[in-house]
Every structure is written in C-alpha cells, then in structure tokens.
Structure 1
Amino acid sequence: MGPNGNRNSKLTEPNLIKPCPVNLWHCPRGSISTLKNSSKIFEFPKWHKLCLPPVYQDWQHMQSKGCFFLEEDGEIISHQYRMQIAQRSMVYLTIKPLNLSQVEGKPSPWLSVDTALYILKENESQANLQLVCFTELRNREVFGWTGELGPGIYWLIPSTTGCRLRKKIKPVTDEAQLVYRDETGELFLTKEFKSTLSDIFEVIDLDGNGLLSLEEYNFFELRTSGEKCDEDAWAVCRENFDTKRNELTRQGFMDLNLMEANDREGDPCDLWVTLHSMGYNKALELTEACPFVIDIYAEKCKPKIKAVHMEACSGQLEKAICKSVLSNGDAKVMDGYENIIVHTYSCDTWITSVIENKSDEKVIIHINNELSKNCINNRGLNIFAVEVGPKSTMVCQHVMPLNERQEWIYYCIYSLIS
C-alpha cells in the first residue's frame, strides 16, 4: 500500500484485543512541544526554520517545475527527477507550490498544500537507491534542505501527505463555456478557457523557458491521453503551429487546442477530458492538482535536473518515508506485542506514523483518531484499519492541523485485531 493509499475499513470496539497506550501530541499554534503517553513525557527538539545560506545567491542555480495530480481512487502521482552533481558541493534544495495567480494579494488556493522532496543517491543502478535526506525545514510554504552532497546521480522524489490535496465533496453545478462562435460561424476559445490554458502551459513548461519541448509536451500527453507524441507527429505540429527553436510557443499551444475543438465541430468533450486530467473542475478551478517548483543551488558546480517519470507517490517514495521515520522518529512497541512497533515522526507541520511488523505473520492494526482535535489525516477517516505484511513496514497515516493558526492535538490509539 502506498503512503497515500486509502485501503481501510471501519471496525468496532469488540474486535480489539489490547490497545496500545495512547500517544498524545499537544501542539500550541502548530508547534510540537511534547509527546505524552500514560507513563512518560518525552521532550521534542524545537522545530528548525529554513534559513537561506548567506551567499546562496552567488551559487549556481537550476529550477524545474512539476505537479501533483489526484487520481480517481485518491492516489497521488507526480513528476520525478534525476539530478546530477559533478563534484562535492554544498547544496541548497527547496520545493514549494507554484503560485499561478496574477492578482496581487490573492494567491492560488493550493499554496496551503504541503510539499516535500526526498533525495536518494543512485548507487550503480536505478534499482539501488539510498535515502540521503528530505526537505524537513520550512519557511511558510517553502520546504528545504541544505547540506553537502558528493558527486553522483540523485533521484528527487516529490511528496505531499494527501491531507490537503484530496477529493472535493462539494459538486460544481455551473459548467464554464470553453468555446463560442462569432456571427460568421468561426470558432474561438473563450477568455476564461484561454486563461486556464495559459496556466496549464505554465505548469507543463517544466524548465520555465516559455516554450514546450517534445519531452515536456509528452508529459502533458501522457497525463491527458495516455499516449506519447512521436518525432513525426511533433514535426507536423511544428509545421502547423507557432514554434521557436523547435519548441511550441504559448500561442501554438492555444491554437492546438482550438484545432481540437474544430475537429469536433465545437463539441468540448475532449477539451473537458484534458481539463479534468489536469485537475480542473467544471468551473475551471484547479482543485485536484497542485503544481510545484523545485530550486537547486550548488556552491561548487552547476547542478543538472531532468524530469524522467510521472509516477504514483508509492514504491521508492514509500520506502524513503518509512526509512526517514524509522531513522528520525520516536519508536514505541505495542504493549504485549514486541514484534509490532509504531514509529512516529513529528514536526510543526505534520505527523507521520509508520508501523513495523517484525513477526512472520501479517497483522491488522486498528487506528482510532477520534480524540484528536483540529486534525486532518490523509485517509479521511478517524477510525480505520491497516494490514501490515510479515517482516515489513508501511506508512500508517499522515496527520496535519486543519487550521494551522489554532492549537491542534494528535491523540491516536493503535490496537491489534484478533
């Protein structure tokens, strides 16, 4: 099960054998201070704020954009990247949501979505990746890490907990108009749709040069149609639409969508498929995606970054999260079950729990968050159960404050099901 999976079931109290002592986090205005249980109080170090290296502006800089997309089943997928560092160097890495709003004082609503970046070192092959670090420091919506990296190939895997990027329950009743015809019958894109297409162009222009390369366009095609555009089709595209340096311009991208509407004689069905795939609802609001931007500064060399995949936030990411929580979190053995350990990592932004099963049998763990206050978790349920395979670990849940400006209390009971 991936870190943002939603396989769970409601179970009743009679099915429980023995509850694990309660873990309680009392978080005044979002700042972790203590972890309490029935017998002890553990002091936590204060959360460290992300501070810029004094001369990072003089370091060599690379940037890439990307996006988290919410699937129908609640799974989250995103771009993943390869980074090359030519020589040992101090590095400063950040990730943050991408603000597309052109209105001063009215930022994009998805800026509240949490983001993180896990950095894994490639050893000999892509199959052998070693977790190096993750962006655990924060300054408002920016999450970052700074430290020294040796020469080599690194994988950058973006992550979001799924607490705030989630399916919206409220339905949209009014459908935006995408195209219209003038008095001569000629088809045009509406102003609202052109604005949305411009935002989409901004998101899929990963290197930010104002143009779409074939590689960038293919990420868009894979997302919206499941197919790639080959070199021959791209050559035809360059012949018929506005390009610069063999890359598609913003106007060319607009005209490409207008051609699609004309091919359907003004029927917007295919256009809506594209919009829904990119996370937009019928009101042209971006509700099921979160674009982000990654910045890399290196002191001694020019870093290289390239988007190579768009995959589910599971697999390598699940392993990386588990490893980071086991290394940096608090471990507690369930009473009476020495082979079942709950590891909990906490900071002022989120709490992640990982369940480790050292036994030779699978176990089913019941989780109850009903006594938590001002909390939201990625599973969307206060009571659920997870199955943990033998000799394995899995992400149990991510928890965040519903309102960061108010006190939040995390209170969770773990119990083994018979």
Structure 2
Amino acid sequence: MANKDKPPTWMNVDTALFVMSAGETKEDSALVCFTESKDKGKYVWKGELNAGSYNLLPFSTGCRLKKHSKNNFSDKSVELVYKTDTGELDLTSELREVLSEIFEVIDLDGNGLLSLEEYNYFELRTSGEKCDKDAWTVCKENFDMRKNQLTRQGFMELNMMEATEKDGDPADLWVTLESMGYNRMLELVEACPFQIDVYCEGTQPSMQPLSMDSKLLNQALQKSITSRFGAKALRGHDNVFIYTYRGDHRISALIANKVSII
C-alpha cells in the first residue's frame, strides 16, 4: 500500500465542477458558473443562484491520470487473499481497506448502504453488466443487507465469495480493482474520487445522482473556455480561431472553424 504519511496521488489531480441550468433538452441547458478557486483540497464556488434545477458536472482534464497497459505493469503485486491458520481463505487487510474506499465512492447518497441503483453503477464500471432484481434477491439471501440495501459488510462478503469460488484465484478481484483505477500495488492512479457538497441559506437543497452525460459535459467545458476570453485567429487561417482559458489549475484551448460549408 502507499505510504499513509504521503498525500494520495489523486490529490494533485485538477478537478472542477460545472453548474448548468437543467433545461428540458441538452440544447436548453446553459453554463451558469464553475469552480475556479481552491481551498486546501476543495474546489469552491460561492454565489447566488435562482430557484430551480441544475446539473452539477464534475470534470478533470485527466492529465495526471495515465492509463497503464498490461505490458507496463510492474512485476510486483500485493497479495489479495491469504489462508488463515485454520486453512480458510480470507481477504488481506490491504484489500479490505481498498474495498472500503470503493464502497464509499459508489455510496452516492452517503447513507452507508448501497441501493440496487448505486450497486449497478459499480457493476457497469467493472463488468459492463447490470445486476437484475433476481440477482439482487440472491444477494439479499446471502449477504448482509439492511432496508433492501447492501451494507459495507455485505459488500465485503460479496467480494469474498468471488475469491473463494475460484479457490483464492484473484483474477476477478484484479479486474474489479483495475476497473476502479487501482494498480497492482493497490494505489489509486487511474481515477480520482470526489465528493460534491452543496450549501444553501434559507432552504434545504435536494440532490439526485444521475449518469454522466458526456455531451452535456463537453458543452459546459467549451462554454467555460469561450465565455471568458476573446478568440485569436490562427496565423495564415483567418477562419480558424483559438480560444484559450487560463485558470490557476488548468489551461484549456478550443479551436473553432468559422467556415460555412455549403
């Protein structure tokens, strides 16, 4: 595991939150604001918003998150499963710690439990398939549940089952861990966990997790670049313009071709 005295590598990842008005269609949505200032480990925006619904879109350039091919993996690999004194298989403490981190990431409403919807975000990420209601019923019968939701202990039990079904072969566990951004030393190097906090004066905001819409995110990113600074024509190409956004934590550029194609 990584040295606990050192800040995790993902703390250096640039992040931002775009706030867009929630129109009836994507075309109706408009960028309202986005975080630019940073307070310790938090990216912050403070201001006034009219009453209504908004899409909160997390963003990172990903420049510090490098995808590693299997050919680049180190020969070193931590153990995920071990045999106890009684000969039974168990998860290592290092793996349990990482699984606990993953549990917190996919627990979108922060209630300490995983609903079927939350668990399916995890399943889609790691296996590409959803857990249907019948499979969820099997989970209820075999793993620790509360209020029809999977507990942290139940999540550990589910991963334990994957290890014991193949006599301790960690192949499936590694698929899960690598899909969530961990390397073979159980360091989070290909993903950046985040938490969105919203504070309002005089009212209690209501938040609902939704699947990320890449088209809406691209729309917000482009608007954040073009709305601040004027465009410069590319030398020798009067119809090609470059917009550049320079902030404290990122520099982004957008190239626009103004030629009308008939």
Same fold (TM over 0.5): yes
Alignment partner of 1:329 out of 208, 229, 232: 229
Residue 211 of structure 2 aligns to a residue whose secondary structure is strand
- Paired letter, 1:120: M
Which runs of 5 or more residues in structure 2 are unaligned? none
Please state how far the C-alpha of 1:294 moved relative to its aligned partner: 0.7
- Cα contact 1:329–1:346 (8 A) shared by 2: no
Deviations along 1:221-242, whole A, 9 cap, x unmatched?
1111111112222222122111
- Cα contact 2:22–2:54 (8 A) shared by 1: yes
1:219 equivalent to 2:121? Answer yes
More strand as a share of residues: 1
Distance across 2 between alignment mates of 1:130 and 1:289: 28
Distance across 2 between alignment mates of 1:167 and 1:240: 35
Please state how far the C-alpha of 1:295 moved relative to its aligned partner: 0.6
Please state how far the C-alpha of 1:183 moved relative to its aligned partner: 4.6
Alignment partner of 1:247 out of 149, 155, 176: 149
Deviations along 1:56-87, whole A, 9 cap, x unmatched?
xxxxxxxxxxxxxxxxxxxxxxxxxxxxxxxx
Counterpart position of 2:65: 165
- Paired letter, 1:338: D
Please state how far the C-alpha of 1:279 moved relative to its aligned partner: 0.6
Please state how far the C-alpha of 1:334 moved relative to its aligned partner: 2.1
RMSD (Å), alpha carbons: 2.2
Matches within 5 A, 1:4-403: 103=4, 105-126=5-26, 128-167=28-67, 171-310=73-212, 314-360=214-260
Residue 28 of structure 2 aligns to a residue whose secondary structure is strand
Distance across 1 between alignment mates of 2:41 and 2:243: 26
Residue 217 and residue 114 in structure 1: after superposition, are their counterparts in 2 closer, same or farther (change >3 A)? same
- Cα contact 2:36–2:248 (8 A) shared by 1: no
Please state how far the C-alpha of 1:323 moved relative to its aligned partner: 1.5
More helix as a share of residues: 2
Residue 310 and residue 132 in structure 1: after superposition, are their counterparts in 2 closer, same or farther (change >3 A)? closer
- Cα contact 1:135–1:144 (8 A) shared by 2: yes
Residue 238 and residue 310 in structure 1: after superposition, are their counterparts in 2 closer, same or farther (change >3 A)? farther
- Paired letter, 2:33: C
Please state how far the C-alpha of 1:102 moved relative to its aligned partner: 10
Please state how far the C-alpha of 1:346 moved relative to its aligned partner: 0.9
- Cα contact 1:218–1:229 (8 A) shared by 2: yes
Please state how far the C-alpha of 1:291 moved relative to its aligned partner: 0.3
* Higher mean displacement: 162-171 or 262-271: 162-171
Task: Return the structure number with greater relative CO, CA threshold 8 A, min gap 6.
Answer: 1
Residue 304 of structure 1 aligns to a residue whose secondary structure is coil
Distance across 2 between alignment mates of 1:242 and 1:270: 21
Distance across 2 between alignment mates of 1:167 and 1:294: 25
State, as a whole percentage, how many aligned pairs show the same letter: 53
Structure 1 length normalisation: TM-score?
Answer: 0.58
Greater Cα radius of gyration, structure 1 or 2: 1
- Cα contact 1:210–1:250 (8 A) shared by 2: yes
* Higher mean displacement: 123-132 or 109-118: 123-132
* Higher mean displacement: 113-122 or 199-208: 199-208
Residue 354 of structure 1 aligns to a residue whose secondary structure is strand
Distance across 2 between alignment mates of 1:155 and 1:222: 22
- Paired letter, 1:192: E
- Cα contact 1:123–1:129 (8 A) shared by 2: yes
Residue 333 of structure 1 aligns to a residue whose secondary structure is strand
Deviations along 1:228-267, whole A, 9 cap, x unmatched?
1122222221221112222211111111111111222221
